[in-house]
């Protein structure tokens, strides 16, 4: 007599794999232009060096020392950096507001079960002060990274999406194998961001939560490794 076949066991639902979305800080989450302007004005006053602050504020994104090198001899840049960073908490935080949709975008990632990380070229202490002041609460902050250098942190945290306002952010996302979502809230136009290779270009972050929900519903947020 043949043994009776065993009934199939019910399958236990597998938990959905976590996902990570990275965000740039300056001009993506935070309109830091007023604070950066005030800090450069304080730096010019402290050093006696003329600085075209309007020009500085028009091209926020690259590392601080790169901008300082436009206004100070190479041997004076380290001291200028020290003065700038030291005065930033007093001048740079209070005037800088969250950009529309910033809090909601970070929260949307977390509400959908993901991790939100901030990956920025900014000095870590000052980046953290901005986030705390504005009540933006990412799961992780990775500071001091620019353009392709951001790929290190994005890969380490398995970010499948990176959101930024600068062509350097697009390059960082692509170097990490992450989807590049660009917002036209910084110095780069939508056309420039697309030309650099952004996969998605939004006017600002107000539309990001809805975009993310659609993207997740389509099952389309891979980790960085699967896109590499």
pLDDT tens readout for residues 45-76: 999 999 999 999 999 999 999 999 999 999 99
CATH number at residue 68: 1.10.150
Query: Are 113 and 206 contained in the same domain?
Result: yes
pTM: 0.89
pLDDT tens readout for residues 149-189: 999 999 999 999 999 999 999 999 999 999 999 999 999 99
Question: Is 13 part of any domain?
Answer: no
pLDDT tens readout for residues 204-213: 999 999 999 9
Number of independent structural domains in the chain: 2
Question: Is 107 part of any domain?
Answer: yes
Query: Are 84 and 163 contained in the same domain?
Result: no
pLDDT tens readout for residues 76-131: 999 999 999 999 999 999 999 999 999 999 999 999 999 999 999 999 999 999 99
SS (H, E, C) the chain: CCCCCCCCCCCCCCCCCCCEEEECCECCCEECHHHHHHHHHHHHHHHCCCCCHHHHHHCCCCCHHHHHCCCCCHHHHHHHHHHHHHHHHHHCCCCCEECCCHHHHHHHHHHCCCEEEEECCCCHHHHHHHHHHHCCCCCEEECCCCHHHHHHHHHHCCEEEEEECCHHHHHHHHHHCCEEEEECCCCCCHHHHHHHCCCEEECCHHHHHHHHHHHHHCCCCCCHHHHC
Domain that residue 140 falls in:
20-31+97-227
pLDDT at site 219: 80
CATH number at residue 220: 3.40.50.1000
Query: Are 73 and 164 contained in the same domain?
Result: no
pLDDT tens readout for residues 8-19: 555 544 445 579
């Amino acid at each position: 007599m043949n043994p009776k076949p065993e009934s199939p066991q019910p399958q236990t639902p597998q938990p959905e794999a976590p996902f990570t979305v990275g965000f740039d800080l300056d001009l993506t989450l935070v309109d830091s232009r007023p604070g950066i302007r005030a800090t450069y004005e304080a730096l010019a006053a402290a050093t006696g060096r003329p600085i075209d602050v309007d020009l500085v504020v028009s091209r926020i994104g690259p590392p601080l020392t790169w901008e300082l090198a436009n206004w100070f001899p190479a041997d004076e840049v380290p001291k200028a950096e020290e003065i700038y960073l030291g005065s930033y908490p007093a001048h740079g935080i209070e005037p800088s507001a969250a950009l529309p949709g910033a809090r909601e975008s970070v929260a949307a990632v977390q509400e959908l079960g993901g991790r939100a990380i901030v990956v920025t070229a900014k000095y870590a202490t000052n980046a953290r002060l901005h986030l705390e002041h504005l009540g933006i609460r990412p799961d992780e902050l990775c500071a001091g990274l620019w353009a392709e250098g951001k790929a290190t942190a994005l890969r380490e945290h398995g970010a499948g999406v990176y959101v930024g306002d600068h062509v350097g952010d697009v390059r960082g996302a692509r170097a990490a194998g992450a989807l590049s979502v660009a917002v036209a809230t910084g110095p780069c136009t939508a056309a420039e961001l697309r030309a650099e290779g952004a996969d998605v270009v939004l006017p600002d972050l107000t539309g990001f939560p809805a975009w993310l929900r659609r993207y997740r519903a389509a099952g389309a947020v891979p980790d960085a490794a699967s896109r590499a």
